[in-house]
Amino acid sequence: MDFDDTPEEAAFRAEVKAFLAAKAPKYAEPWEGEETTRDDVYLKRARGWQAEKAAAGYAGITWPKEFGGRGGKPMEQVVFGQEEGKYDLPTQPFLIGLGMCMQTLMAHGTPDLIKEHVGPALRGEKIWCQLFSEPIAGSDLAGIKTRSERKGDEWIVNGQKVWNSGAHYADWGILVTRSDPSVPKHKGLTFFIVDMKSPGLEPRPIKQISGGAHFNEVYFTDVRIPDRQRLGAPGEGWKVALTTLMNERLAVTSFRDVSVDVPHLLRLARSIDLETGPAIENAAVREKIADFYVRSQGLKFTNYRTLTALSRGETPGPQSSIGKVVSAPKTQQIATLGMDLADMAGGLLDGDLAPLRAAFSQTFLSAPGTRIAGGTDEILRNIIAERVLGLPGDIRVDKDVPYKELPTGR
């Protein structure tokens, strides 16, 4: 056991460090005033950074060279991520596009489509979003109803998507639709990529608990999609969507969210007073800090175990499936403890009054979303139970029933 880089990894890390030292600081400057809330300012900087990375060959590190990637190893991606993470860089707008949409496109798209879209996405010219969830179905994604109908070389799409992160500024989206309601639900889906500027396509931002509006409802009214933008055969959209979902579990983070962990809690506990002195001297507080610490460390070293497999060129074990289902509730609980310690000031969101510039209360408001986005806690437990532990699937009442005959509660 050791935590050292292999010689190749060390050489790559040195190269990455030099690149970051030269280029990253400009993009990692602190945000000031209006910049902190304006999407356009944020996106400009984010696109700039993505373009720098692409120009230097650090975008799409593991992607095939023929698609514009570097053709590198998973460990190189990891090393780059570790070093990049040391700077506060605006990378989130590309997570969905590069982490999920392009993966899906590369797996199921025609060579022409791949050629057309991968480059611009890698260079930060085009931002992508995911148009999956609907008012009628989220966890049960195969239950969506947005309708697609073929007309010659085009498909006409009508319906509504919802909770789509970044759809209001995205250039392109990946879209699951229902092309045939007369067959059971998994069999009647068709998958597309869609230009967000298409006539009849209208994103409307939705205000979230946290006050921001990073996700949207997206309306489709007679939106025309050329057949060449279809991924997979008609009726086989579920298979394509599964590729996205598999990648989603690895890519999930919310847009520009603050998040608190043990170091924040320690800083707070050292600085805040309780009945008999600093919180850090309070036994109940110490116990909780220890509980959170072992979870955070456990996740960190679970990640190391996965990296060990990648570094050896092996397929990682299923242990990484515990990531979000452990970390999201933990973050929520840490936020609550931090607010409890602030006592009567616990609910304040005012950065000048609440500790650590209100990091705990802000996290408190974003944490519920993390437990839902990209698979809810409950769905992730189902996945561990069924795919890792091999327990039976839930008893289904919707399997062999034509979609249009399924009860919807509406």
Partner 1 sequence: MNLDFSDDQKMLRDQARRFLDEKSPLKAARKILESDAPYDRALYKEIAELGWLGAAIPESYGGLGLGYLELCVIAEELGRAIAPVPVSSSIYLCAEAILRAGSEAQKQAYLPKLASGEIVGTLALAEKAGVPRPDRLETRLEGGKLTGRKIAVPDAGGADIAVVAARAGSGVSLALVDLKGPGVARESERSVDSTLKVGGLGFSGAKAEALGPSGEGWTLLQTVLTRAAVLYGFEQLGGADAALAMARAYALERYAFGRQIASFQAIKHKLADMYCLIELARSNAYYAAWALSSDAAELPLAAAALRVSASEAFDFASKENIQTHGGMGFTWEADPHLLLRRQVQLRHVIGSPRAWKERLVAELERRNAA
Ligand X SMILES: Cc1cc2nc3c(=O)[nH]c(=O)nc-3n(C[C@H](O)[C@H](O)[C@H](O)COP(=O)(O)OP(=O)(O)OC[C@H]3O[C@@H](n4cnc5c(N)ncnc54)[C@H](O)[C@@H]3O)c2cc1C
Owner of token pair 């959209």: 237
Examine residue 163 and tell whether it contacts ligand X (CB under 6 A). Answer: yes
Q: Which is nearer to partner 1, 299 or 367 (CB)?
A: 299
Q: Which is nearer to ligand X, 213 or 309 (CB)?
A: 213
Examine residue 138 and tell whether it contacts ligand X (CB under 6 A). Answer: yes
Q: What is the contact mask toward ligand X in residues 104 to 123, using x (rule: CB under 6 A)?
A: --------------------
> What are the residues facing 96 on neighbouring strands?
none
Q: How far is the CB of 239 from ligand X (least distance, A)?
A: 17
Q: From CA 37, how far away is CA 25, in angstroms rounded?
A: 21
Examine residue 399 and tell whether it contacts ligand X (CB under 6 A). Answer: no
**Per the structure block, which two tokens stand in for 275?**
């009945």
Q: Where are the alpha helices (DSSP H) in 371-407?
A: 377-383
**Per the structure block, which two tokens stand in for 264?**
């924040």
Q: How far is the CB of 333 from partner 1 (least distance, A)?
A: 14
Q: Half-sphere exposure of 216 toward its Cβ, with a 13 Å CA cutoff?
A: 21
- Cα–Cα distances in Å, from 140 out to 145, 217, 274? 11, 18, 46
Examine residue 376 and tell whether it contacts ligand X (CB under 6 A). Answer: yes
- The correct pick among 379, 383, 385, 401 for binding ligand X (CB under 6 A) is 379
* Tally of CB atoms within 10 A around 118: 24
Q: Which is nearer to ligand X, 254 or 296 (CB)?
A: 254
Examine residue 302 and tell whether it contacts ligand X (CB under 6 A). Answer: no
Size of the site for partner 1 (CB under 8 A): 50
Q: Which residue is nearest to ligand X (CB)?
A: 138
Q: How far is the CB of 284 from ligand X (least distance, A)?
A: 30
**Per the structure block, which two tokens stand in for 194?**
């869609």
Indicate which of partner 1, ligand X, none lies near residue 32 (CB less than 5 to 8 Å, by partner kind). Answer: none
Examine residue 139 and tell whether it contacts ligand X (CB under 6 A). Answer: yes
Examine residue 363 and tell whether it contacts ligand X (CB under 6 A). Answer: no
- The correct pick among 112, 395, 407, 409 for binding partner 1 (CB under 8 A) is 395
Site for partner 1 in 131-170 (CB under 8 A): none
Indicate which of ligand X, partner 1, none lies near residue 311 (CB less than 5 to 8 Å, by partner kind). Answer: partner 1
Examine residue 286 and tell whether it contacts partner 1 (CB under 8 A). Answer: yes
Which H or E run includes 130? strand 128-131
Q: Half-sphere exposure of 369 toward its Cβ, with a 13 Å CA cutoff?
A: 25
Examine residue 215 and tell whether it contacts ligand X (CB under 6 A). Answer: yes
Burial grade of 284 (CB within 10 A; 0-12, 13-18, 19 or more): exposed
Examine residue 254 and tell whether it contacts ligand X (CB under 6 A). Answer: yes
Enter the DSSP assignment of 316: P
Q: Which is nearer to partner 1, 344 or 395 (CB)?
A: 395
Whole-angstrom Cα Rg for the chain = 23
DSSP letters for 236-260? BHHHHHHHHHHHHHHH---TT----
**Per the structure block, which two tokens stand in for 299?**
């996740």
For residue 81, give the amino acid letter: G
Q: What is the contact mask toward partner 1 in residues 71 to 100, using x (rule: CB under 8 A)?
A: ----x-------------------------
- The correct pick among 144, 289, 358, 373 for binding partner 1 (CB under 8 A) is 289
**Per the structure block, which two tokens stand in for 253?**
């983070």
In the complex, the residues that contact ligand X under the rule CB under 6 A are: 129-130, 132-133, 138-140, 163-165, 215, 254, 369, 372-373, 376, 378-379, 382, 394
